[in-house]
Amino acid sequence: MITVIIAGGSGTRLWPLSTQDYPKHLLKLTNSNSLLQNTVSRVERLTKKDHILVITEESHVEHVYKQLDNIDRKNILVEPGRRGTASCVLMGLSHIKKSGLPQDEPIIFLWADHLIRDNEGFTASALRAGELSKGENKLVFIGVKPTYPATGFNYIKQDGPVDGWFQTFHLEKFTEKPDKKTAEKYVTSGRYLWNSGYLVGSLSVFENEMKRSSPDLYQDYLKVCDDKDFINTYLGLKSLTIDEALSEKVKDGLVMPVTFDWMDVGSFSDLHAVSTTDDSGNHVWGNNVELDSTTNSYVRNEDTEPVAVIGLDNIVVVNTSNGVLVVNKNYAQNVGEVAKKVQLK
């Protein structure tokens, strides 16, 4: 299997930890390794090291080189400018087509900023998705069985089962992030999965699907494959997500539900949910932190000044050299918009 890890994005909802210069996937959030380092370590179970590709943006590449000093630099592909995940997929496919990697090998595209601790479950699921795509010659989408009615994730609706394959389904449709009531209906129905964003298929499967479902994207792919003036060609691409450019247009895809502990750590509320806590439900990171009559809170100090939190519940306090954040966890999704305003000043 060939793995392509997309290491982009700004993770603004985790400001001031995540910034434009040092985004979420480079951060050490749950252990002594960054999310990117954990992702590379995870996919090393799937394939040989020279079959691992990482796509990152030019402004972050030196950080990526430093964190991934065990990956050959020719396998770290650099966007000349951020152009959305659809363009990253085109860059990965183009590199595979021209680099001599096996053309019939299943490819999995995945994201550097997801948290998965069940590495064995992930490995087994990814390999099975590769077998499914190869056997049916179709694009496979990996969906996570929801454990609660999340409103921060997109969903995939599955259709009927695929003959000859246990617990695999035809794709019915993709849906946007639902409100709470709709998310509850999704979970109760048993037909909806969280959209992990992981796509699996061989080079020919991706090429044929683009021709069939997204001819404009296929034409962009041909342009990227042409080495003439790559930088200007790439910078001329529309900034689209792979979901809107391809996935949502696929009519004959397959869905494989998985149960490993996937989490897109998109907010401090998510981060607190996957962090260890004390008897009062608090997670404390860093030195010089004092709590008094405080419960169910995430407090992180990455600077030298002391931080004291008194008489509060359900809050996030983050102190860094980039800024200070204090937010009720119920409003954690709002951090991104505020961070954009702060960082423009």
Mean pLDDT of the region 59-68: 94
The pLDDT value given to residue 136: 97
Q: Order of strands, edge to edge, in the sheet holding 298-301? A: 283-285, 298-301, 315-320, 323-328
Is-contact 3 53, C-beta < 8 A? yes
Contact 313, 295 (CB under 8 A): yes
**By mean pLDDT, which of 157-161, 181-185, 334-338 is the weakest?**
334-338
Pairing of strands 169-175, 140-144: unpaired
Residue 259's pLDDT band, with cuts at 50, 70 and 90, is very high
What was the pLDDT predicted at 200?
Answer: 98
Exposure of 197 in the CB half-sphere (CA atoms within 13 A): 22
The residue ranking higher by pLDDT, 100 or 121, is: 121
Question: Which secondary structure element, helix H or strand E, spans residue 254, and what is its range?
Answer: strand 254-258
Per-residue pLDDT, averaged over 23-49, amounts to 93
Q: Superfamily for 2-138+200-250?
A: Spore Coat Polysaccharide Biosynthesis Protein SpsA; Chain A (3.90.550.10)
Report the range of poorest mean pLDDT among 4-13, 129-138, 202-211, 249-258. Answer: 4-13
Is the pLDDT at 9 greater than 80, yes or no? no
State how far the Cα of 137 lies from the Cα of 224, in Å rounded to an integer.
24
Q: Report the alpha-carbon distance of residue 195 to residue 175 in Å, rounded.
A: 9
How far apart, in whole angstroms, are the C-alpha atoms of residue 199 and residue 255?
10
232 contact partners, CB below 8 Å, separation of at least 6: none
**Span of 177-186, 314-323, 331-340 with lowest mean pLDDT:** 331-340
Question: Which of the pair, 57 or 152, is modelled with greater confidence?
Answer: 57
pLDDT of residue 323: 93
- Is the pLDDT at 151 greater than 90, yes or no? no
Q: Do the beta carbons of residue 112 and residue 54 sit within 8 Å?
A: yes
Report yes or no: 172 and 158 within 8 Å, Cβ to Cβ.
yes
pTM of the model: 0.92
Query: Which uninterrupted H or E stretch holds 2?
Result: strand 2-7
Q: Which residue matches tokens 């959030």?
A: 29
pLDDT one-digit tens code per residue, 28-40: 998 899 999 999 9
pLDDT over 80 at 202, yes or no: yes
pLDDT digits (tens, 9 = 90+) for 70-117: 999 999 999 998 889 999 999 999 999 998 888 899 999 999 999 999
Distances 92 to 6, 97, 263 between C-alpha atoms, Å: 9, 9, 24
* 285-303 residue pLDDT tens: 999 999 999 999 999 999 9
What is the band of 345 on the pLDDT scale with cuts at 50, 70, 90?
A: low
Per-domain boundaries in the chain = 2-138+200-250, 269-344
**Does residue 248 carry a pLDDT above 70?**
yes
* Residue type at 80 in one-letter notation: P
Closest CA to 75 of 85, 83, 64, 84: 64
Whether pLDDT at 344 is above 70: no
Between the alpha carbon of residue 75 and those of residues 27, 70, 139, the distances in Å are 21, 11, 24
What are residue 264's DSSP bridge partners? 114
**pLDDT above 70 (res 339):** yes
